[in-house]
Amino acid sequence: MAPIFYAAIVLLFAAVVLSIEGAYEWWNSRHGPAAKRVESRIRAVSAGGHLGSTRLSILKERLLSESSLLDKGLLYLPRVHAIDLFLQQSGVSWTVGRLFGICAVMPPPTLAILLFAGLPLWPSLGVALLSAVLPLLYVRYRRGRRLRKLDRQFPDVCDMLARALRSGHAFTGAIGMVGSEFAEPMSGEFRITFDEINYGISLNEALLNLATRVPIRDLRYLVIAVLIQRETGGNLAELLDGITLLIRERFKLFDKVRVLSAEGKMSAWILGLLPFGAAGVMVTINPGFLDVLWQDPAGLKLVWTVLGTMVFGVFWMRHIVKMRV
């Protein structure tokens, strides 16, 4: 019996090891770094929006959530694909379902914290409901920062494309060079475009998808110029040089306007925050000094009037210091 017993132990050990290895391989094939990288690339490629139905069928559609049931439910929401594109442009790895889930999770803990701090119920409930907007504001901030970085990188991209064309490369090869040698996030967008072309999508559709994923004005100028050049002919390298010069001169003008309007913006911030800072100092020095503002009916009317005029003043100062070029 002893040899059979030891053999059973060895076989049991081998079965446990193989089971663990199999479970790890299954998890790694679905959730590992390589799987996530391939999934993100396929999602980005299929999110352009200018593919025909026959060509789109060869690509894996971008999922709106991690759950198929939730994904089917989200399809009934209006403009859900616009929200999905908004997430793509921000550079975050969230899906639409995860974004909605985070927005739904934020209010309950916020309400509990505010009630534990001793604030009244109705103001706490209003603040808790407003906290559901914080994930959207975060995504919007990430999107704006990423688009500004893409905008600043674009002149150097045009220079690289022009140099590649002068050295004898085709325009498709120049796109591949930008995708492999340039810095993020612009290299990732051009790498997706290069992959789309390799998958069989025409250059025109791939460039239109690029303009959809990266909604900056200068890139649309480039796409229009390339599409016109493919129809009429001409020296594309010289055309890219002209676009680069125009963009850099416009950046210089933007920087001058930003410097000239910086003093007005600082004045607006100081004037907007000064009443709250002065009220905070008064409450710290004499806690009961401002009680009349929210205990007396006339004080409440005064507070609401002041807040209304402050909001009007903030928008008016914003209109003054905001210059369109």
Question: What residue spans define the domains of the chain?
Answer: 63-132, 146-252, 256-321
Helix (H) and strand (E) counts for the chain?
A: 16, 0
102-118 tens-digit pLDDT:
999 999 999 888 888 77
For 171-179, what is the mean pLDDT?
92
Cis peptide before 185 (omega within 30 of 0): yes
Could you give the CA distance from residue 149 to residue 184 in angstroms, rounded to a whole number? 9
Element (H, E) at 198: helix 186-198
The Cα 303–Cα 294 span in angstroms is 8
Q: Which residues, including other chains, have CB under 8 Å from residue 222's CB and lie 6 or more apart? A: 154, 158, 240, 243
Q: Tell me: the pLDDT tens digits for 231-261?
A: 888 888 888 888 899 888 888 888 888 887 7
Q: What is the pLDDT of residues 149-166, one digit of tens each?
A: 999 999 999 999 999 999
133 DSSP assignment: T
Q: In the structure encoding, which two tokens stand for residue 81, read together?
A: 């694909």
The most confident of the ranges 64-78, 167-181, 295-309 is: 167-181
Give the Cα separation of 208 and 223 in Å (integer): 7
Residue 157: exposed, middle, or buried by beta-carbon count in 10 A (0-12, 13-18, 19+)?
buried
Answer yes or no: are the C-beta atoms of 162 and 240 closer than 8 Å.
yes
What CATH number has the domain spanning 146-252?
1.20.81
Phi/psi at 93 (5° precision): -95, 15
Whether the predicted pLDDT of 136 surpasses 90? yes
In whole angstroms, what is the distance from residue 205 CA to residue 49 CA? 9
* 8 A C-beta contact, residue 199 and residue 45: yes
Is 223:236 a contact under the CB 8 Å cutoff?
Answer: no
Give strand ranges (E) for 145-203: none
Tokens, residue 11: 């076989």
pLDDT at 58 over 60: no
The 10 Å CB-count burial string (b at 16+, else e) for 301-324 is eeeeeeeeeeeeeeeebeeeeeee
More confident residue, 287 or 66: 287
Alpha-carbon gap, residue 219 to 150, rounded angstroms: 9
Residue 194: count of CB within 10 angstroms of its CB = 20
Beta-carbon contacts of residue 185 (< 8 Å; ≥ 6 apart): 91, 146, 149, 150, 153
Token pair belonging to 121: 């119920």
Q: What does pTM read for this prediction?
A: 0.68
